[in-house]
Amino acid sequence: MLSLSSLGRPVARLSLRAGRRRRSACALLLLAAFGTAAHAVIVRGHVTDVLGRPVPGARVQLIESGKVSAIAYSEEDGSYEIRYAGAGRFILLGSIRGFFPSIGEDFYSGTTDVLEKDVVMATNTVRQEVSVAATGIPTPLPQLTAPVSVIQGETLDTRLGVVDEMRQIPGAFLVQTGQTGGVTSLFLRGGNSTANLVMIDGVPADDVGGTFDFGTVSSTAVGRMELLRGPDSAMYGTDAGSSVISIETPRGTTAVPLLTYSGDAGNLHTWRNEATLSGTLQKFDYFGAVSRLDTSNALQLDRYHSVTSALNLGYDINGNTQVRFTIRNADSATGVPGPHDFWGISDDSKLGDQDLYSGLTLENRYKGNWHNLFRYSIARKREQQQQFGQQGTPITFEQGQPDQYTAYFGPVVTIRGANGYTATGQTEVYGDNTDQDSNRDQLYYQSDYSFSRHFIGLFGFRYDNERGSFNDADIFEHEKTQRTNFEYNLQFQGEFFSRLFYSAGGAVEKNHLYGIAGTPRLGLTYVPVRPSGKLFHGTRLRANFATGVQEPTLAIEFQSLYTQLLNAGDTADIALYHVTPQSAQRSRTYDVGIDQNILGEKLTLKAGYFHNVFDRQLEGVGNAALAQYFNLNINPGVGLYEAYLNSLAYRAQGEEIELAWQPKPSVLVRGGYTNLDSRVLQSFASDAVAAAEGTPTENPNLAGIAIGAESPLVGARPFRRAPSTGYFDAQYMRRKFTVALKGALASRSDDSTYLGYSDATGGNTLLLPNHDLDFGYVKLDLGMTYAMPHHLLFFTQIDNLLNNQHIGPIGYPGLPLTFRSGLKIRLGGN
C-alpha cells in the first residue's frame, strides 16, 4: 500500500469547507497521491546477511546529502521498498541490532526510476566485502566457492606501490629483481609469473602472453584490489592460468568537491607528491589523480622515477543505465644495475615503461533481474632498455681467426648462496638494447539474468586483437605478431537454504596460436553451522575445481622451434618431425578449505589445501638437446641455439592457513602461512642435455652436483617458489591515531645464478647448486598516521626495520631500511 509519508515530501492537507465538496476533494487527494507516486524514486530489494538469509525488521534509510530523505523497514522475507518524490544521488544505510551498519555505494536515481538495491548486513565489519572478479556477478565473499582476498585502498595510503600489501595474501610470493622500480613478478601457489591475469577497471593490463610488472604499479588511484587464488579461464580466457587480479580506480562520492594533496620525503633522496580531485554533480561522478615519485635507491646508477595519472568518469543516463570512462597512464624510468652482487659493479643501463589502460563501459539493469554490460578497452604498453656505456674490463676470446669476441668483466667477487656453496671469479657484465610493444584492443559483452536466488545465469563474449613487436638492436632482430582471439563463456551460480552455494561454468576459446581450448570450472560451498556469537559457531566448507590456459609471450613465440624453422625456410624438418606451433599451456587445480569462527567472529581461522598441475609449459631447449631429440643435426642453415617446446610439466600442492583476531574494534591481529610442495615432473631440457652431453651441467669445482643452469632439473623445485611463506599484521586504530606493524616472511628457495659460460674463461665455475640458493627473509614494515586539526593528516612509513638486504633473489641486493614522512591535506567533501 502506498503511504503518503513515504513520498518524502510534506503533503498539504486539504481543508474542506462544505460537505457537498467532500467527494471532489477526496478525488483530488487520491489523484495527487497517485500522481506523485508516478513520479517517485522507488528503491526496493532485500535485506539479508552475508549468507543470504532474510533480515526482517531492519531499518533502511535513503540518504541524500547527509540527510535522511525516507525510511523503510524490511518485512519477514527481508524485502523493503522506499518511495521518495525527488531525483538525486543517494546512499542506502541499513541498520538493526546485532549487525554493523551497512553503508552502500552512492547511486543516482531519477523521479521515474525503479531500482533494485539489496542490503547485505554483516556482524564483523562495517564494510560488506563483495567480489566481482570471481564470477563476474557481485557476490558476498562468504558465498564464493573459490578463495578471494581483498586489499582496500586505505591500506595503501602510506605505501609507494602495491607489492608489500600483496605480500599479505596467502600463497602470494613476490620476487623483485632490484630495488624500488625493479621488475617484480608474482608466483602464486607455485604458478608461473606469466599466469596471472591482471585487470585495471576491467581492462586486461598484462602484456601479450601474460607478463606483468608489479614493481611499477603506484598506490595512486588504487581504490581496491581483488586477488582470486587459482585459475579462472572459464570466466576470463587466456592468461588466467594461476590467478586473477582486479585493480579498481576510486569513484567520486561527495556532493561537495573533495581535493586532497599528499607530499612526503625520506632517505635515499626519495620524495613523492600526489593530488586527487573527486566529487559528484547529480548524474555525473568524477575522480582524477596524479602523482610523481623519485628515489635514488641504494645502488649506483639505479635512480627511479615514475609519474602516474588516472581518471574515472561516470554518467547515469537514468538510475539503471550508466556510462563510465576510465584511463590510467604510468610513465617510469629506472636504472638497471643488474645482478650487482655477481658483477661487483652497476651496469649503466635504463629501462623505460609507458603503460596506458583505458575503457569505456555501458551498463544497464532491466527490471532488477537482467543485467547487460558492454566494454571496449585498450592497453598500450611499451618497454625500452638501453645500455649507455659498457662497464668492466674487456677480455677477448679467440673463436678461430679471424673471429674474435670481446666481453667485459667486473672485479673478482665471491658469490655465496643461502645453501652455503660459494664461487669466486669474474663475471661477464652485459646489457641489452631492446624495445618491445604490446598492444591490445578488447570488446567484451556480458549478459546475466537472475531467475531466482537459486539460479543466476551469465553469458559472455570476448574478442581480443593483440599486436606486438620485439626488437633487439644487438643482434639485429625484428619480430612482429598479431593475434585475434575469441571466447564464449557460460556461468551459473545460486544458493539453497542460505547454506549451499554453487558456481559452475566453462568457456570455449579460439586462440590465434593454439586453436580451440575448453576450460571448465565447478565449485561448492556449504555452511553446516551458521555464524553466531557462540563458541565455534560458524563453519564454512568449500571445494573448487578450475582450469586455465595460457598463450606464449612475444619473445617465446618468436623463439619457438616451429617459428624458427619456418622463418629459416626449413619446411623439410617441420614435415619430417611433425613440428607444430605452440599448443596451449595448461593448468588445473582443485582446492578445498574450511572457514571456522572460534570466538564468534572475533577470532576466525581459515585453512585450505590446493593441488595444481601445470603441464604443456613452454621451456627453452638448447641445440644439443634438440640434436638428441631429432637424432641428427638440424639443417645447419637454420642456426638454432635454443628453441621453445611444450615439454615442461610440474605440480604444486600445499596448505594455507589464515588467522584473524579482533578483540576490540580498535585492535586487529592477522597472520597467515603457506606451505608449498612443488616438483618438476617433466623437463625435456634437463633430461635431454644429460643424454646428449653425457653428463648434466656441473661446476668443475663442485664435481658430482648436477645443476640446472637455465631451468630446474626433473624432481627439483621450480625456481623462485619459496616452500614456506607467511605474513602477519598487527593494527591499533583510534579516531586520530593508527599504527600498523606488518611482516612478510619467506624460506629459502631454489634458483640459479644463470652464469653458465659466463666466467672469465667462458666456463661454468660461477654456477652454484640450485637447491635453497635464494636466501629466506623476514621483512618488517611500520606505518603510522595521526590526524591533526584543519583536515591535516601526518603519516610516516618505515620499511625493512631489520635492514635485510636478501629480500630479492640471489645477486640482487634489496633496499636497506627506508623511511618517509609527510602530510596529507583534505579540502572540501562532505
Residue 502 CA to residue 492 CA, distance in Å, equals 8
Question: Which pLDDT band holds residue 133 (cuts at 50, 70, 90)?
Answer: confident
Percent of all residues in the chain with a pLDDT value above 90, rounded to a whole number: 68
Q: Which tops the pLDDT comparison, 91 or 399?
A: 91
Q: What is the mean pLDDT of residues 9-30?
A: 36
Q: Mutual orientation of helices 623-630 and 684-693 as an angle, nearest 10°?
A: 80
The SS3 call for residue 736 is: coil
CATH second-level architecture of 258-828?
Answer: Beta Barrel (2.40)
Would you say the C-alpha torsion 598, 600, 605, 611 has a positive or negative sign? positive
pLDDT (0 to 100) of residue 687: 66
Q: What is the mean pLDDT of residues 483-495?
A: 95
Which CATH number is 130-248 given?
Answer: 2.170.130.10
Question: Which pLDDT band holds residue 265 (cuts at 50, 70, 90)?
Answer: very high
Give pLDDT tens digits for 303-331.
Answer: 999 999 999 999 999 989 999 999 999 99
Give pLDDT tens digits for 66-106.
Answer: 889 999 999 999 999 999 988 889 999 999 988 888 888 88
Would you say the C-alpha torsion 411, 412, 418, 419 has a positive or negative sign? positive
pLDDT (0 to 100) of residue 174: 96
pLDDT (0 to 100) of residue 581: 84
Q: What is the mean pLDDT of residues 164-186?
A: 95
pLDDT (0 to 100) of residue 481: 87
Residue 439 CA to residue 668 CA, distance in Å, equals 43
pLDDT (0 to 100) of residue 701: 93
pLDDT (0 to 100) of residue 757: 86
Would you say the C-alpha torsion 367, 372, 373, 374 has a positive or negative sign? negative
Question: Which pLDDT band holds residue 658 (cuts at 50, 70, 90)?
Answer: very high
Q: What is the mean pLDDT of residues 2-15?
A: 33
Q: Say which range, 204-218, 268-282, 352-366, 635-649, has the weakest mean pLDDT.
A: 635-649
Question: Which pLDDT band holds residue 5 (cuts at 50, 70, 90)?
Answer: very low
- pLDDT of 680 strictly over 90: yes
pLDDT (0 to 100) of residue 761: 85
pLDDT (0 to 100) of residue 98: 85
Instruction: Name the β-bridge partners of 724.
Output: 675
- pLDDT of 367 strictly over 80: yes
- pLDDT of 690 strictly over 80: no
The model's pTM is 0.91
Superfamily of chain region 4-121: Immunoglobulins (2.60.40.10)
Residue 733 CA to residue 728 CA, distance in Å, equals 16
Residue 822 CA to residue 429 CA, distance in Å, equals 39
Give pLDDT tens digits for 31-53.
Answer: 334 444 456 789 999 999 999 99
Q: Which residue in this structure is represented by grid cell 635453497? A: 772
The residue ranges of every structural domain in the chain are 4-121, 130-248, 258-828
Rounded mean pLDDT of the chain? 88
- pLDDT of 346 strictly over 90: yes
Question: Which pLDDT band holds residue 541 (cuts at 50, 70, 90)?
Answer: very high
